Amino acid sequence: MRIRYCRQWGALLLGMLLVACSVTPDPASPGLQVDDETAQVRPAAQTSRPVLALLEQANKAARQGEVAVAESRLERALRIEPRNAVLWYYLAKLRLHQGRLDQAAGLAAKSNSLDRAQNYQLQADNWRIIAHARHRAGDLQGAKTAQQRADALLQEK
């Protein structure tokens, strides 16, 4: 009973993490997009239709608690667009949810390294993933430093 409850709760959390992934980019402005109302990271306008479809499928799978399907769709999208920083960000969020802390931090760092558009919201969210992963791993100083980087990025905005 307790395991089932944990799985349902985990699926709900994952769905909430990935629901932020809207697959409708703003064609009017280039680069990675951020929804100003909710400060959610959005795919870039130049994101291909197949990748947008895979993101939608990953989002739907996550909402339904199908973590393996969500993971598969994100990985497939990355094979199509390996330099898409937003895809790496969402995979980092998924890894964090799975408790794969080192991978989550590494994927968030990779997302930041690929962000050529200087999207401060994306970078700050990546630093928050790193901070959370470090905190859960017991590295409190590392978590504090990562959170400070996230806060500094948002002040630059």
Output the CA torsion sign for 18, 22, 23, 29.
negative
> Tens digit of pLDDT for each residue in 68-98?
999 999 999 999 999 999 999 999 999 999 9
> What's the number of CA atoms in the CB half-sphere (13 Å) around residue 127?
19
Domains and CATH numbers, the chain: 2-156 (1.25.40.10)
The pLDDT assigned to 45 comes to 83
pLDDT digits (tens, 9 = 90+) for 100-133: 999 999 999 999 999 988 899 999 999 999 999 9
What SS3 class is residue 87?
A: helix
In which band, very low, low, confident or very high, does the pLDDT at 39 lie, cut at 50, 70 and 90? low
Query: pTM of the full predicted structure?
Result: 0.76
> What backbone phi and psi angles, to 5 degrees, belong to 42?
-120, 155
Mean pLDDT, rounded, of the chain: 81
Give dist(CA 67, CA 147) in Å, integer: 27
